[in-house]
Amino acid sequence: MVRISPLSGFPEWLPEGRAVERAVLETIQHTFELHGFAGIATRAVEPIEQLLSKGETSKEVYVLRRLQAEEGEEGASEKSLGLHFDLTVPFARYVLENAGRLAFPFKRYQIQSVWRGERPQEGRFREFTQADIDIVGDGTLPFHAEVEVPVVIAEVFARLAQLGVPPVRIHVNNRKVAQGFYEGLGLSDVDGVLRSIDKLDKIGPERVSALLQEQNGASAEQAQACLDLAAITGTDAGIADRVLELGVRTPLLDEGLDELVRLVEAAGRRVPGAVVADLKIARGLDYYTGSVYETTLVGHEQLGSICSGGRYDSLASDGRTTYPGVGMSIGVTRLVSRLLSADIARASRPVPTAVLVAVTDDESRPASDAVAALLRGRGIPADVAPSAAKFGKQIKFADRRGIPYVWFPGDEAHQVKDIRSGDQISADPALWSPPEEDLWPRVTAAMERS
């Protein structure tokens, strides 16, 4: 017999945990669709060379091989498939493959598993679900798309608050601000400076200053200016003033500041309090070309970003047309894992069933089946007791699953019992409905229920 044990990095939930995840996914999907994003799904695999073109994640890729291939039937083309490690690479490929059949700007969402062969740790998994939105244009993409994406994400989390999810802060920066500032300062190793600045939270300003001087060719003054820039946060035009007070000015910096201010001001009107400019955000700025986003769960900042993204001037290109894009990706598994481990959100029951129809004796099972069918026909999730045990045992069966109602069929009059209160009333299966809040399992803040 094969030994059974969980695999580290491949999380699975019990039915009650899956119910929480499902509620989170449905809220995400519903919000994406309200904003006009069309759902697509891409295959789980891509040619390895496609996955490696991004470079730095190459080590995390899972490569596929058919077991049969070991026995000498290996096809050359099949050697080169790997599991996607994000949904951006497959989406870029999908856009190129279907460009002639898509209407641009194309707004799509995609909710799927991705795989990374990383060392598993808290909030970091080998298989996890991402929920992505992207807006992609053919040739051009207006700046307001860079506002729309974080606004949609802020709205997702505003709706998730109903499930008990804490509020989020979306931290934004702009590649043009960083690059324009560093270049204006006389530092040419922009990506190197970004890598050092990215270590701020981990190693603190003094060691970052040392790094900037030792590795990125900065003087002590230049390093201090970089740290001063990184310290700026805000939600209005004041951020531009504070940056300009540092005494650096370039056209690129001006353009970046204009975009950054437009972003936080527009977001401030549409989703107040959710989006804040944070000029120390450096991760991703080496490949994003405009706005960049990171999202923290308030009170759970050490979990890291649960939704990141940014703008690419070239999400994809087929040589003739370049497709700029902007998108964000919610780390659903990281979020749900925390909701469950910290007991933040809970499902009201682990099964969909609202009503358990009792079975009086084996001969009358068809009568119980008929009651359940009537209820289901009216949209009420119903199950039939598995055996004609004593009613007390059938009630216990419902209780163990959190099923709120037990139905007792009768030749003439039926009875339905709310097993929480013990209230039992006569009822007609063609007419009776449970209260709206009992119809389907609900996911709510755990606190509310304790």
Instruction: Please report, in range form, the residues annotated as the binding site for L-histidine.
Output: 86-88, 116, 130, 134, 283, 287-288
Element (H, E) at 215: helix 200-215
Looking at 270, 286, 434, 444, which residue binds a second copy (CB under 8 A)? 270
Cα–Cα distance between 331 and 340 in angstroms, integer?
15
Cα–Cα distance between 350 and 419 in angstroms, integer?
16
Does 14 participate in binding a second copy (rule CB under 8 A)? yes
Does 242 participate in binding a second copy (rule CB under 8 A)? no
* Pairing outcome for strands 345-347 and 355-357: unpaired
Based on CB atoms, which residue is closest to a second copy, 251 or 377?
A: 377
From the CB of 203, what's the least distance to a second copy, in Å?
A: 26
Q: Which two tokens stand for residue 290?
A: 């405009």
Q: For residues 322-351, which are near a second copy according to CB under 8 A? A: 350-351
From the CB of 274, what's the least distance to a second copy, in Å?
A: 14
The amino acid sitting at 52 is L
Cα–Cα distance between 382 and 380 in angstroms, integer?
6
Of 448, 443, 332, 338, nearest in space to 23 by CA: 443
Of 129, 95, 103, 96, nearest in space to 330 by CA: 129
Under 8 Å CB-to-CB from 57, ≥6 apart: which residues?
Answer: 51, 85, 86, 116
Does 11 participate in binding a second copy (rule CB under 8 A)? yes
Q: Per CB under 8 A, which region of 6-14, 176-184, 206-214, 423-431 contacts a second copy?
A: 6-14
The amino acid sitting at 425 is I
Looking at 205, 217, 268, 381, which residue binds a second copy (CB under 8 A)? 381
Cα–Cα distance between 356 and 417 in angstroms, integer?
10
Does 86 participate in binding a second copy (rule CB under 8 A)? no
From the CB of 176, what's the least distance to a second copy, in Å?
A: 20
Q: For residues 173-232, which are near a second copy according to CB under 8 A? A: none
Cα–Cα distance between 376 and 383 in angstroms, integer?
9
Does 249 participate in binding a second copy (rule CB under 8 A)? no
Cα–Cα distance between 336 and 339 in angstroms, integer?
5
Looking at 401, 415, 419, 446, which residue binds a second copy (CB under 8 A)? 401
Looking at 246, 303, 373, 446, which residue binds a second copy (CB under 8 A)? 373
Q: How many amino acids of this chain bind a second copy (CB under 8 A)?
A: 96
Does 144 participate in binding a second copy (rule CB under 8 A)? yes
HSE-CB at 17 with a 13 A cutoff on CA atoms is 15
From the CB of 147, what's the least distance to a second copy, in Å?
A: 9
Q: For residues 92-111, which are near a second copy according to CB under 8 A? A: 93-94, 96-98, 101-103, 105, 107-108
The residue written with tokens 């039926």 in the block is: 414
Q: Per CB under 8 A, which region of 217-225, 236-244, 272-280, 317-325 contacts a second copy?
A: 317-325
Looking at 56, 76, 221, 319, which residue binds a second copy (CB under 8 A)? 319
